[in-house]
């Protein structure tokens, strides 16, 4: 039985993102990404599209006494990033675009970009910028989700969204999964002048206490909040409950054992260097 009031839903979308989606989803990917880049003590790290800062914070523990910079377009996400304490090296939070990085060439030993590239309107330009700001012996690690069919919980959710809210309602969520093949990412990276490009297909097991929890936070803590923003609180809760029921109906029963909503989530994780 789903319970919409199981979690405290007060707070802005970036606050809810940090409180619920980061621990359940993006912290897992951040540990994997930072582990692949292996930032070392004393190095300088840039986290592009840092959101509320999970990648930057994990990297900061490894580079102490180095330095970390987190950059994002979104003021609200950065405000939450600044409010979360970090025990690692100091972190600067900068508002800016991945397409025009406000840094000198060669300024960073490590550039990281988790689950951001798919949103950039000019990915080639963003990758050129990443290469420009890396030192000649630096390392890049970035991740994007693979096709949505490879992540069954998200796939059930987008079908439910379109059925309940109308065709096209799932466009934002489907856009997160825009990369079809690892080769697309590999070609973009080599085209932008990166060498030693490796693209790994990685799976994390994601779990939420219930389908309703997953659906609520997708619709309250991400840009999908715009889909229901003109509704009254009661209408919004009713829509979320309907979408959650439909998501559960469209899910494999194995994803719903013990009332939890648990499924594999797949992403392409790439590592590269600016020159061979």
**Residue carrying the six token digits 């009661």:** 234
**Cβ–Cβ under 8 Å, residues 254 and 263:** no
Give alpha helix (H) positions in the chain. Answer: 13-16, 27-37, 54-63, 75-83, 123-133, 152-165, 171-175, 182-191, 211-220, 233-249
For the bound state, the minimum distance from the C-beta of residue 232 to ligand SAM, rounded and expressed in Å, comes to: 28
Question: Which structure tokens are listed for 189?
Answer: 């990276």
| 162-169 contact pairs (CB < 8 A, 24+) | 163/246, 164/239, 164/242, 164/243, 164/246, 165/227, 165/239, 165/243, 169/227
For the bound state, the minimum distance from the C-beta of residue 54 to ligand SAM, rounded and expressed in Å, comes to: 5
For the bound state, the minimum distance from the C-beta of residue 30 to ligand SAM, rounded and expressed in Å, comes to: 6
CA 154 to each of CA 19, 48, 93, 170, 262: distance values in angstroms, whole numbers, following the listed order: 20, 24, 30, 10, 11
- Name the residue number minimizing CB distance to ligand SAM: 51
CB nearer to ligand SAM: pick between 80 and 89 = 80
CB nearer to ligand SAM: pick between 73 and 197 = 73
For the bound state, the minimum distance from the C-beta of residue 216 to ligand SAM, rounded and expressed in Å, comes to: 17
For the bound state, the minimum distance from the C-beta of residue 176 to ligand SAM, rounded and expressed in Å, comes to: 7
CB nearer to ligand SAM: pick between 139 and 177 = 177
Closest CA to 243 of 168, 141, 162: 162
CB nearer to ligand SAM: pick between 57 and 67 = 57
Question: Which structure tokens are listed for 18?
Answer: 């940090």
Residues pairing with 95 in the sheet? 72
Q: Please tell me the distance from the alpha carbon of residue 4 to that of residue 235, in angstroms, as a whole number.
A: 13
CB nearer to ligand SAM: pick between 25 and 240 = 25
CB nearer to ligand SAM: pick between 76 and 182 = 76
* Residues of the shown chain interacting with ligand SAM in the complex, contacts defined by CB under 6 A: 22, 26, 49-51, 54-55, 72-74, 77, 97-99, 114-116, 119-120
Q: Please tell me the distance from the alpha carbon of residue 43 to that of residue 64, in angstroms, as a whole number.
A: 8
For the bound state, the minimum distance from the C-beta of residue 177 to ligand SAM, rounded and expressed in Å, comes to: 12
Q: Please tell me the distance from the alpha carbon of residue 49 to that of residue 17, in angstroms, as a whole number.
A: 14
Question: Which structure tokens are listed for 256?
Answer: 């719903």
CB nearer to ligand SAM: pick between 26 and 146 = 26
For the bound state, the minimum distance from the C-beta of residue 257 to ligand SAM, rounded and expressed in Å, comes to: 27
CB nearer to ligand SAM: pick between 31 and 262 = 31
For the bound state, the minimum distance from the C-beta of residue 234 to ligand SAM, rounded and expressed in Å, comes to: 29
> What sign results for the dihedral spanned by CA atoms 257, 258, 261, 265?
negative
């Amino acid at each position: 039985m789903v319970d919409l009031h199981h979690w405290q839903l007060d707070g802005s979308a970036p606050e809810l993102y940090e409180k619920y989606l980061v621990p359940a989803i993006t912290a897992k990917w951040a540990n994997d990404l930072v582990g692949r880049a292996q930032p070392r003590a004393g190095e300088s790290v840039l986290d592009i599209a840092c959101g509320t800062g999970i990648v930057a914070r994990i990297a900061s523990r490894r580079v102490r006494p180095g330095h970390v910079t987190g950059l994002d377009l979104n003021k609200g996400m950065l405000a939450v990033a600044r409010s979360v304490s970090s025990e690692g090296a100091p972190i600067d939070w900068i508002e800016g675009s991945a397409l025009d990085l406000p840094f000198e060439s060669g300024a960073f030993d490590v550039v990281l970009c988790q689950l951001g590239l798919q949103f950039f309107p000019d990915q080639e330009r963003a990758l050129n910028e990443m290469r420009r700001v890396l030192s000649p012996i630096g390392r890049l690690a970035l991740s994007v989700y693979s096709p949505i069919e490879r992540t069954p919980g998200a796939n059930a959710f987008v079908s439910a969204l379109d059925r309940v809210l109308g065709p096209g309602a799932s466009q934002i969520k489907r856009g997160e999964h825009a990369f079809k093949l690892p080769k697309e990412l590999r070609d973009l990276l080599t085209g932008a002048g990166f060498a030693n490009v490796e693209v790994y297909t990685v799976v994390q097991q994601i779990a939420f206490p219930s389908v309703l929890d997953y659906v609520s936070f997708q619709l309250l803590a991400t840009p999908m909040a715009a889909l229901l923003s003109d509704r009254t609180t009661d209408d919004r809760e009713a829509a979320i409950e309907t979408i959650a029921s439909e998501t559960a109906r469209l899910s494999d029963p194995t994803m719903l054992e013990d009332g939890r909503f648990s499924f594999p989530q797949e992403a392409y994780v790439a590592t590269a260097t600016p020159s061979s």
